[in-house]
Amino acid sequence: MNYYIFTFGCQMNVSDSLWLDQALQALGLKPCSREEEADIFLINTCSVREKPEQKIYSLLGRLYEYTREKPHVFAGVGGCVAQQVGRRFLERFSFVRLVFGTDGLVMVPEAIKRLLKDRHLKTSLLDFQDHYPERKGYQPEKAPVQAFVNIMQGCDNFCAYCIVPYTRGRQKSRSSREILQECAGLVARGCREITLLGQNVNSFGQDKEGRDIPFSELLRSVAALPGLERLRFTTSHPKDIDEEVIQAFGELPALCPHLHLPLQSGSDQVLSSMGRKYNSDDYLRIVEKLRSSCPDISLTTDLIVGFPGETDADFENTMDIVKKVGFDSSFSFKYSDRPGVRAADMQPKIDDETKTERLARLQQLQSELTRDRLAGRVGRQELVLVEGRSKKQGPPDTVSWTGRDPGGRLVHVHLPVERDCTGEVLRVTIVRAHKHSLSGEVI
């Protein structure tokens, strides 16, 4: 039986899908590169914003057409939209036979086995667990060059706009012992870069049910693994980042000089309405400390425009703080109501025309900042971890590769020979800045 996995949303969903892919192969199922070859469709969904949710319904409508020629074909819907919509997927789409939430992912392989034995069975895995649902037993023989390791699930912050606590549940930290074992195993099999994942990694270990080691200690333990060259983590909440984590950027050679630190808004009034529990001055103090600890740190962020009640002055405050920080890049979005969150009942709503105009101005500013930040890298020497072939064309008789520098910037390298450079670390001189990336020459 062949399967095809669709993945929407955040990096945690990508990580979940990679694990599910390994688990299904361990059952003897085969991944396919074209959806028309699949007998099983698995859709890992996102409900952070409205558009990804709408895509799921459209996708299921399209996939249903495959059942006309292959009646045995069925689908499973998982992730945040599945947690939110639940068994209604089973009722609305006859060929959907499995619905699983974020904590139910670990039980999907066994559920698939049951579904293959009983063609009439439908099942749902939607209950939240009171502990981190550990995933064991499915690891590739050779680790990828870069790997993502989940360290926690869920969130306790309940920001006014965010549906994550309702779709991923309350915060559950994974055992530090299990995390270190997984990371050590990845490094032993050739992994050179690890990214630690969580909804709010800074609060790792501070769960309601107990306390593990603090996140700063976990960082130091993973960074100390022999053979690990690069360590990253995402995502951080500004209210929880502590001095020990900030100092780690200046003290741990393996910890990459890059931090994604969501700002969301530069207006104290909007931040308060959002329930973010910090203000703009708090955020700027964190930035100052980070740059004192690690002057070359690359900072990226998330921004929301058009939150209920956001005035023109509030938006200008966001523009001002974006200029002050000088982010290397940012993800910015128009606010949209999500069902069940506090902001859905907040007034006044901002009309779409205003949100669109504000977003365009913000993204134009970020484009200028990104251009200037990238231009400032020209002439520098960087170590680039090659991720694969590049789509950017180089000079004749060269092969183009792409990778990232320690700050997370995309770098293209053109080499005169045809060889697989994936996983190599190349020392390059940056010779050109593009709109969103850099080009370098091997030294």
Q: Each residue of 365-406: pLDDT tens digit?
A: 999 999 999 999 999 999 999 999 998 888 888 999 999 999
pLDDT of residue 52: 66
3-class SS of residue 219: helix
Q: Copy the structure tokens of residue 101.
A: 């939430």
Q: What is the pLDDT of residue 113?
A: 96
Better-scored residue on pLDDT, 407 or 391: 407
Q: Percentages helix, strand, coil for the chain, rounded to the nearest 5?
A: 35, 25, 40
Q: Report strand pairing: 152-153 vs 172-173.
A: antiparallel
Question: What 3-state class would DSSP assign to 430?
Answer: strand
Contact present, 413 and 437 (Cβ < 8 Å): no
> Predicted confidence band at 319 (pLDDT cuts at 50, 70, 90)?
very high
Residue 263 CB burial class (10 angstroms; 0-12, 13-18, ≥19): buried
pLDDT over 90 (residue 89): yes
pLDDT greater than 80 at residue 49: no
Angle, to 10 degrees, between the axis of helix 215-223 and the axis of helix 176-188?
20
Mean pLDDT of 35-39: 96
Contact predicate 238/209, CB 8 Å: no
320 confidence band (pLDDT: 50, 70, 90): very high
Q: Are 406 and 256 in contact (CB under 8 A)?
A: yes
For residues 42 and 78, the answer to whether their CB atoms sit within 8 Å is yes
Nearest to 335 by CA among 51, 79, 80: 51
pLDDT of residue 432: 96
Q: Across residues 314-318, what is the average pLDDT? A: 98
Q: Distance between CA atoms of 134 and 175, rounded to whole angstroms?
A: 9
**pLDDT level of residue 210 (50, 70, 90 thresholds):** low
Residues 73-89, mean pLDDT to the nearest whole number = 94
**Spatial CB neighbours of 118, under 8 Å, sequence gap ≥ 6:** none
Whole-prediction pTM value?
A: 0.90
Burial of 31 from C-beta contacts in 10 A (0-12 / 13-18 / 19+): middle
Mean pLDDT of 208-216: 82
pLDDT at 18 over 80: yes
The whole-angstrom separation of Cα 64 and Cα 85 is: 19
Mean pLDDT score of the chain: 94
Note whether 171 and 150 are within 8 A (CB).
no
